Chain A
């Protein structure tokens, strides 16, 4: 515990961490500011006009729905008609509607937090390995796994705490903005549970990024090793291998890409279209679509973590330290 507290003060005192935190706040600030600049409280006239348009839309929908019910109730577009409920929010322009836009904004926030977590965690261990700070600590506490484990746990806990605070503030800011200068929209139970679930998944992703950054920097003994790993992965695999898969007409290339799993993890599921499937003539029985779910994603994340973080701990145990 004492070791963890000591690590925490080292983490918070790092210039790089402070700089990254400022950048993070700045990025969020810019997002909020641009939203502020592009929204306004709808005027009475605008609301009236929107209500009018909703009524018009309802009137237009009605015969279509009836037509469906009478003739072909199980067609998919009929379902869509049945579910479609024109809302006032759909006919207001330049108005920030919390319920419609917050999910995309949360994705953006998670992306930023994940990047932040990755860099912080990588530099936290990388800088100490290069500067000899780790050596010092090990002279003091000659238990390598404990020391490295405490470091990882500290950075994960710090990143998690910061992400929770950031999420609450971020979502809170947009909610307040909607109340003051926009519209909250339909905030039913389903909406909130969806939002909370998305944020929780996002936090998972942020922790994953931190652990990978930490592990890669430990394996490579340098912060730059983590950056190199990501850059290499992105260029060689996500871009290079994708092209190769395209050329060789490999089936379902997306399932080899970490990015697909990140998407599946965040959205719960992700569908992909396999352009090389169903080329053998049994068209109607064959589905070109396939799906990756968050469970697949969790498995892939677990394997990646085991390889990189597990590998980092295994090698750190016996390595010569300068």
Chain B
């Protein structure tokens, strides 16, 4: 890992290449958590990190932050090789990894003061971050007595204490109420405007879509998509439109004859490969069918996510609950 090799990654705030990690249990079992994972986060991005449960997000972040040893792969953080150079970059880095635990007997304020002291951060920062995460008035209560969302806020406060250039947040919205989620969103935007790079993992896709400019999607320990949010979405844009008319069957016939793939739904049609929506209205109008709705079906992050993670290299065995319960197959033993 010489610095020349890493030179071309200098602009990337985080660069991960071919990361592999297999957890081995005492009984000799092995679980592949990361299977050659790659990720690049450039300076100034708010980068969303998505993936189903157990896909390896937390493991990636832990490995990057030196808590877990990688089996293979290369990582750099803020232009330095990780984890070797972590002590050097730690002052520029704020991170929370999956619901951090704090010492319950301390108040929130004291927790932060001790951290500030241990990290050589001026004590004024404590009040600043407490206010920033909305805990100023509850700072003198014991952490034990905090709600889940309050603990999460405290965690974010601790990550902000150093005024980091890079913020790594593993599920920061975990346990937050709607107002809290919104505050978190505003906070991230604010930080991003101030030039801070944010890497955030989350399961709230609408949230990611709202705040992130870039995303990386991981499934079964491998990257399945990455890039600007719009680009990732447009890769899944099939030019589909929802068309609503009175006589669905006749309209479907017309459009199919015109060479468009049409799917008949309950009360509307889904037409793909539409270049110009006006053309559909015109075709149907000429035949006396008046279009009551003509809406483009742009893919959202959720549908893309679901498609991508199901099309992962090795499909995830999901939906067992639904598979198991087939309507009519359950005999409750109730006599009619």
What is A's interface to B at a CB cutoff of 8 Å? 2-3, 5-6, 9-10, 13-15, 131-133, 135-143, 318, 320-321
Contacts and interface: CB of A to CB of B under 8 A. Distances in A.
Contacts of B66: 138, 142
Interface of B: 23, 62, 65-69, 83, 86-87, 90, 95-97, 100-103, 105-106, 110, 114-115, 117-120, 158
Contacts of B120: 2
B321 to A, nearest CB: 28
Most buried by B among A3, A136, A141, A318: A136
A321 B101 CA distance: 13
Given A15-B105, A133-B101, 16 more contacts: A2-B120, A3-B118, A6-B117, A13-B103, A131-B101, A132-B101, A135-B100, A136-B101, A139-B67, A139-B95, A139-B100, A140-B158, A141-B118, A142-B86, A142-B90, A321-B68
Nearest to A3: B118
Contacts of A137: 118
B317 to A, nearest CB: 25
B114 A320 contact: no
A97 to B, nearest CB: 45
Contacts of B106: 10, 13
A135 B67 contact: yes
A320 B100 CA distance: 16
Contacts of B117: 2, 5-6
Contacts of B65: 139, 142
Nearest to B98: A132
Majority SS at the chain A contact face? helix
Given A6-B114, A320-B67, A142 B87 contact: yes
A3 B119 CA distance: 8
Given A13-B105, A131-B101, A140 B119 contact: yes
Contacts of A136: 100-102, 158
A9 B114 contact: yes
A20 B286 CA distance: 90
A141 B90 contact: yes
A136 B102 CA distance: 8
B67 A140 contact: no
B120 to A, nearest CB: 7
Contacts of B114: 6, 9-10
A211 to B, nearest CB: 23
Contacts of A143: 87
Contacts of B105: 13-15
B68 A320 contact: yes
Contacts of A14: 105
12 contacts: A2-B117, A2-B120, A6-B118, A10-B114, A131-B101, A135-B101, A138-B67, A139-B97, A140-B90, A140-B158, A321-B62, A321-B68
A133 B69 contact: no
Nearest to B61: A139
B145 to A, nearest CB: 15
Contacts of A5: 117
A127 to B, nearest CB: 9
Given A15-B105, A135-B67, A321-B68, A140 B97 contact: no
Contacts of A13: 103, 105-106
Nearest to B117: A2
A260 to B, nearest CB: 35
Most buried by B among A10, A13, A140: A140
A135 B97 contact: yes
